[in-house]
Homo-oligomer: A and B are copies of this chain.
Amino acid sequence: MKNILIASTSTIHGSGYLEYLLEELETFFKSASSILFIPYARPSGISHDDYTKKASEAFSKINKKVIGIHTYENTSEAVEKAEAIFVGGGNTFVLVNQLYKNNLITALSDAVRNGTPYLGTSAGSNICGLTMNTTNDMPIVQPPSFKTLGFVPFNINPHYLDPDLNSTHKGETRETRIKEFHAFNSQPVVGLREGSWLEVKGKTITLKGKLTARIFEQNKNPFEMEPETLLNDLK
């Protein structure tokens, strides 16, 4: 049974790395003593070692050991044998490129569909959707495909941001970008605000956190969804 936590962000304003989620994660990872960390998204170009250290420090507070996947010779086997998996944020293009390069798409799909708990934040959440086409990241490398893990039958837009009505900047708003996405793609998009997450337990998908999420479907007006609402029918 799938057991997944898809978080908009690792960090909310005024709080430490993963701090706002830690209580939730204690329950989520209760059956695991160690967590396999996938640091490939490398926020700000941080090294795999340094990023793993950062994750370790956060998880030490709930007595979990964190091991970086880059320390394994056989990364597919590491995924297969992991007690739990955490894919951190950073650049989604870099993350997806590295997952394809290391042939990890199938290994991750299999492990998570077999019940290995999976936590994603930001880029690590993006890849839980059908494709990475609704990432906010800069395309700094070119992955072989934009197809991602499809743990949920829609796309994720993490760090969802409402239009700033006072802005004088002419770059596209997030809503406009997602509207453009729907000129070429039919799957729904869930705009997850910072502090929100999706909980996936088997076939049940629930919006968690204190904020509403914004749901975008092709040829429909976007709407707000309240916390604790089920998203099982969104596809």
Contacts and interface: CB of A to CB of B under 8 A. Distances in A.
A160 B131 CA distance: 27
Contacts of A133: 138-142
B140 A184 contact: yes
Contacts of A91: 180
Interface in A129-155: 132-142, 145-146
Given A13-B168, A146-B142, A194-B169, A137 B177 contact: yes
A170 B178 contact: no
A144 B137 CA distance: 19
Contacts of A171: 136, 159, 161
Contact of A176 (B14, B44, B185): B44
A72 to B, nearest CB: 22
A180 B132 contact: no
Interface in A78-133: 90-91, 93-94, 132-133
A181 B140 contact: yes
A179 interface: yes
A136 B138 contact: yes
A209 interface: no
Given A138-B181, A139-B139, 6 more contacts: A14-B168, A43-B172, A45-B180, A138-B178, A140-B181, A161-B169
